[in-house]
Amino acid sequence: MPCGCVGPDRRRAANLSPRISRFLLVAWVLAPISGVSQDSSPAIEEVVVTGSYIKGSPVSSRYAVTAMDREQLEAQGALSMVDLFKNLGANTGAIGEVTSWLNGTGQAVPESVANVNLRGLGASRTLVLFNGRRQTYVPARLVGGRFVDINVLPSIMIKRIEVLKEGAAAVYGSDAVAGVVNFMTRGDFAGFEAKASWEHFSDAGDGKLAAIWGVTTRLGHLVVAVEGTRREALNLRERPWSLPPNGDAYWGWSGVGNPGAFIIPHPNPEEAVSGPLSNQIANRPRFVDPNCEPSGGENWGGTCGFRFGPWDNLIEEQRQRKVFAELGRDLGSRHSLHLEALWADAHIPAWLTTPSFPPVIRFDDMQLVSSEHPGRVDFVERYPRIATNWAGEADLGGNGDWYFFGRLVGNSGPGREVRRDSKTLRLAAAIEGEPDWAGRRLSYDAGVSWSRSEGLYNRLAEYAYRRFLAFRGYGGADCGVGVVADAGTPSGLALGPIPAGVSAGQGNCLYYNPFSSAFEYSAQPGSYFERQPNPHYDPALVNDPALFAWISEEVRLKSESELLVIDGVVSGAIVNSLLDFALGYQFRRFEARSMPNAPGNLELNPCWIPADTDCRYQTGLFPNVKGALPYQAHQETHALFLELLAQPFERGDIQLAMHYEAHEQASSFDPKLGLRFDLGQSLTLRASVQTTFRTPSVDDLALDISTKLELLHSVGVFKAIETQGSRDLEPESALTYNFGLVYQGAAVEIALDHWSYDFENPIGVLPFGAIETLYSDPATRVAVQDLIYCPGNRNDGSCGAEAIERVRVHHINGPDMRTKGVDLSIAGDWHLGTGQLSWGMEVSRVLTYEVGSLEFRDFELVPSFNAAGYLNDPVDGSVPPVPEWKGRARTGFQVGNFGVHGFLNWVSSYRDRARHAGEDYAEIDRFLTLDATLVWRMPQRGITLSLAVFNLLDEQPPLVASDHFFDGMTHNPKGRRVKLEIRYGLGEAS
């Protein structure tokens, strides 16, 4: 729907009426279920707390909840959080490990971060709790909302993970649109436990050391856990399927390489086209450096294709440290105090990226090669005539200027490395009790939590003006020649005053040599020059490493997020054994800040020349990496909620929840009706219907501008995409329901659920590619010209699409989404002789995932589509890959102190609908892996040994038309992995 058409007051009304009316309709249909019979129901042993504030509520059969305790986690080989949630059928589109520019976060999230994305509705729409309380979001500024990093808790401290697979905003408030994940810790642990593990896979591996200690002191029961992990890097070179040759696919390749191409003067100047330089260049001949292909490039008829994949990692080297402590103290008279503290640190010491970046302006005079350039002089001596793409052979003996179309460093390498860091701190305190009140059972829980996340996000960049100087022979820190602004040149730059005695390429002034004579060997895998030296290499023409270091810069962005939560809940019985209640209030304050370093600060340096503020290109000092503006925003929330649990019949109960939440921009009232009815001694019917919502985040509402670089196809290179929030956003809302049957027999349990989400007004950003397409057509250009900026900082439609400098888009309420599916779980336990056989299966089937059409100013930007069974476009972040089937089958046999467990994981095939996928990559094959774990417990020694083999058959992930050739949000690139763990425990242990 178009953005900006509803004011705040109308937003509140529009947010309530349709959803409440649909809620009442479904609730009216469900209501008769509760009165079918009044027979007694069997007791439910397992008590899962997620889903209700009423203490003691046995909700495991009322809600669609999956619970995984420590024993189940260990049987799986103590999977990482990334792998654990990738295997969960209800979770679709998990991030973690994979490079963040491939997962929709715009390179803003380090690879040490992981998330949960229930039903594929977006990670910001899954509420993550630690011990039932909120945790701050990642410090990255993300479209559509931030999420919680689930990697910060020490795994040795996790007692149970509970996943509520249905909307829960009526109970928990904003963010619980898709569901809730609650991490419960081992606050009652007593004794000591330590473990060490090593997971090995081909060419890399993970190591972990952890310990937990629990003791009762005068202050109360104290539990402390520490954990350290170290992960080795896995490069694309180690997985040949991720680096196919260009003949198979062009993903992972760039048309701008080194060796590169050279644009030379037109042989008939009178025939050259006048007008913009890009038009003139397009009608001038160009040739590719003859050493393009021996260096590992591909001659694409006027450009030298460069495969950048070898300078990417599939898995980044990581180091993580985590400390968690909690203290429980009995205050007497049925009151208790609980304190928590968490500190976590994640460090990526050497995030790997390409040797250099291509310039964002395709053709200008920045990379000019004059006739005096020593590299050109040498080249012309070798090749006085050369074949061009335009008019056969050309004579290179003229004096006209050439233009280099390429990057500073390419096939010769090496790649560049930069560090990334993140830190998390959490403090929480709660007091709870169960006092008597007029003879009725009453309990309360009041708490405060404060959490903070800090991230240091570093990027490598190249100064525009220093590149300009180096091509002209005035490069180097001590040359003494500067640049000045000149509106009459294509780049907007000109040489500054040249001091007496200073000459190009002499003394401290250095030339940058763009020709292949500058390197002896190629670092491109499989290339001829990787094995044999370049015969045209000239040591006198080598580029000084100090020159490239002078051109390069590290752009740093330090970001912080803080969340303060104060809440309290009172619960008890209104009518004993008939009607229970929970009443509560919550206050939240979220703050976000970010500050770039001086080179990357667009307030200080918006132009290519330092401290210049009046220039043609308002994109910062660097033509290939966008800077950032300082950013600070906050948001406060007040929430009131009421929950009622009625048990008017022995065989059924009814839950009614109501949640009112008020924000600065909008408010929302959301009800929920949950029903449970026992159809017999073993069969239970459960159903729920609720409205859920998520308020616009601070980033969605902020009018500050954030920027990133994206490829504009009409220009052919990366350009700045500016994103701005909007004050006219409506809250996201959804009507969700779940119908299920639960069978609990003596030896088997079966649960079948049909779920549905009717999602309105999801918050996103105008797709810049669709805006670019409208601008490219003269008939529709006027509709979007205010969003397109031409040279000279004009947004008046005065330039063609090939001259676009930047695009500004804003946050919008996007098209409605509707998704439905079925979950099936079966589990059983049988006695076999002296042993115990356990088995089970969990399957999730997405029946449909419909996304409506996106319209803007009476134009359809994106037509409606069904995302189920398709890769979609994970890079734009709106809809992740959605395989129709995900499942896991398990079996385990325990005899004495020995246990063996097997797991079969499968993801169905799905399709890539993108035109560029072609037939070879249109079908993404199913992914089936087999895991096995052997556990040997030696209780007399307090030792447990565990040997796990993941992906036993060494299946490679199915090929996908993307830069890394696999779907990192769904599949795993590591291959077969072997993990050995030894655990020593005293006391409660393990």
CA of residue 131 relative to chain centroid, distance:
24
Q: Is the pLDDT of residue 990 over 50?
A: no
CA of residue 485 relative to chain centroid, distance:
39
pLDDT band at 37 (very low <50, low <70, confident <90, very high): very low
Q: Is the pLDDT of residue 977 over 90?
A: yes
Q: Is the pLDDT of residue 2 over 60?
A: no
pLDDT band at 41 (very low <50, low <70, confident <90, very high): very low
622-674 pLDDT tens trace: 988 888 889 999 999 999 999 999 988 888 889 999 999 998 777 889 999 99
Q: Is the pLDDT of residue 42 over 80?
A: no
Instruction: Please indicate whether residue 915 or residue 755 has the higher confidence score (pLDDT).
Output: 755
Q: Please report the pLDDT score of residue 672 as a whole number.
A: 93
Is residue 824 within 8 A of residue 742, CB to CB? The reply is no
The two beta strands, 806-813 and 717-724, are parallel
CA dihedral sign of residues 633, 122, 642, 434: negative
Q: Please report the pLDDT score of residue 333 as a whole number.
A: 83
Q: How far apart are CA 354 and CA 415, in angstroms?
A: 5
Is residue 267 within 8 A of residue 391, CB to CB? The reply is yes
Q: How far apart are CA 589 and CA 461, in angstroms?
A: 35
458-515 pLDDT tens trace: 889 999 999 999 999 999 999 999 999 988 887 889 999 999 999 999 999 999 999 9
pLDDT band at 792 (very low <50, low <70, confident <90, very high): confident
Is residue 546 within 8 A of residue 404, CB to CB? The reply is no
The two beta strands, 191-201 and 204-217, are antiparallel
CA dihedral sign of residues 77, 78, 84, 88: positive
Q: Count of CB atoms within 10 A of residue 701's CB?
A: 21
Lowest mean pLDDT of 47-61, 576-590, 755-769, name the range.
47-61
278-333 pLDDT tens trace: 555 566 788 999 999 999 999 988 889 999 999 999 999 999 999 999 999 999 88
Q: How far apart are CA 853 and CA 683, in angstroms?
A: 42
Share of the chain above pLDDT 70, in %: 89
Q: Is the pLDDT of residue 25 over 60?
A: no
Ramachandran region, residue 432 (left: φ > 0; alpha: ψ -120 to 50; beta: rest): beta
Lowest mean pLDDT of 432-441, 446-455, 975-984, name the range.
432-441
The tokens describing 69, both together, are: 């305790």
**In the block, residue with structure tokens 């359809």:** 860
822-857 pLDDT tens trace: 999 999 999 888 889 999 999 999 999 999 999 999
Supply the DSSP symbol for 226: E
pLDDT band at 599 (very low <50, low <70, confident <90, very high): very high
Mean pLDDT of the chain: 87
- Which residues are within 8 A (CB) of 448 and not within 5 positions of it... i.e. 6 or more apart? 428, 429, 430, 564, 565, 566, 567
Q: Please report the pLDDT score of residue 219 as a whole number.
A: 93
Q: How far apart are CA 744 and CA 328, in angstroms?
A: 35
Mean pLDDT of 513-522: 97
Query: Secondary structure of 72-93 in the HEC alphabet?
Result: HHHHCCCCCHHHHHHCCCCECC
Count of residues for the chain? Answer: 990
Share of the chain above pLDDT 90, in %: 60
Exposure of 685 by Cβ count < 10 A (0-12 exposed, 13-18 middle, 19+ buried)? middle
Q: Please report the pLDDT score of residue 279 as a whole number.
A: 57
Exposure string for 270-295, b = 16+ CB within 10 A, e = fewer:
eeeeeebbbbbbeebbbbbbbbbbbb
- Which residues are within 8 A (CB) of 929 and not within 5 positions of it... i.e. 6 or more apart? 904, 905, 906, 950, 951, 952, 953, 955, 972
Supply the DSSP symbol for 803: G
Q: How far apart are CA 369 and CA 374, in angstroms?
A: 10
pLDDT band at 397 (very low <50, low <70, confident <90, very high): confident
Q: How far apart are CA 464 and CA 364, in angstroms?
A: 12
CA-closest candidate to residue 908, choices 827, 844, 818: 844
Q: Please report the pLDDT score of residue 800 as a whole number.
A: 86
Task: Tell me the three state secondary structure of residue 650.
Answer: coil
Task: Tell me the three state secondary structure of residue 383.
Answer: coil
**In the block, residue with structure tokens 């160009």:** 286
Q: Please report the pLDDT score of residue 141 as a whole number.
A: 87
Supply the DSSP symbol for 783: H
Q: Please report the pLDDT score of residue 58 as a whole number.
A: 47
pLDDT band at 875 (very low <50, low <70, confident <90, very high): low
250-268 pLDDT tens trace: 788 888 899 999 998 877 6
Q: Is the pLDDT of residue 241 over 60?
A: yes
130-148 pLDDT tens trace: 999 999 999 988 877 899 9
73-108 pLDDT tens trace: 999 988 889 999 999 999 998 888 877 667 666 667
Q: Please report the pLDDT score of residue 782 as a whole number.
A: 92
353-375 pLDDT tens trace: 999 988 766 567 899 999 999 99
Side-chain half-sphere exposure of 12, counting CA atoms within 13 A: 12
Q: Is the pLDDT of residue 989 over 80?
A: no
Q: How far apart are CA 793 and CA 605, in angstroms?
A: 16
Which span out of 90-104, 311-325, 709-723, 759-773 was modeled with the highest average pLDDT?
311-325
Q: Please report the pLDDT score of residue 39 as a whole number.
A: 34
- Which residues are within 8 A (CB) of 821 and not within 5 positions of it... i.e. 6 or more apart? 119, 754, 755, 844, 845, 846, 847, 848
The two beta strands, 652-662 and 631-649, are antiparallel
Is residue 590 within 8 A of residue 137, CB to CB? The reply is yes
Q: Please report the pLDDT score of residue 129 as a whole number.
A: 96
Q: Is the pLDDT of residue 57 over 60?
A: no
Q: How far apart are CA 804 and CA 454, in angstroms?
A: 35
The tokens describing 653, both together, are: 């109960």
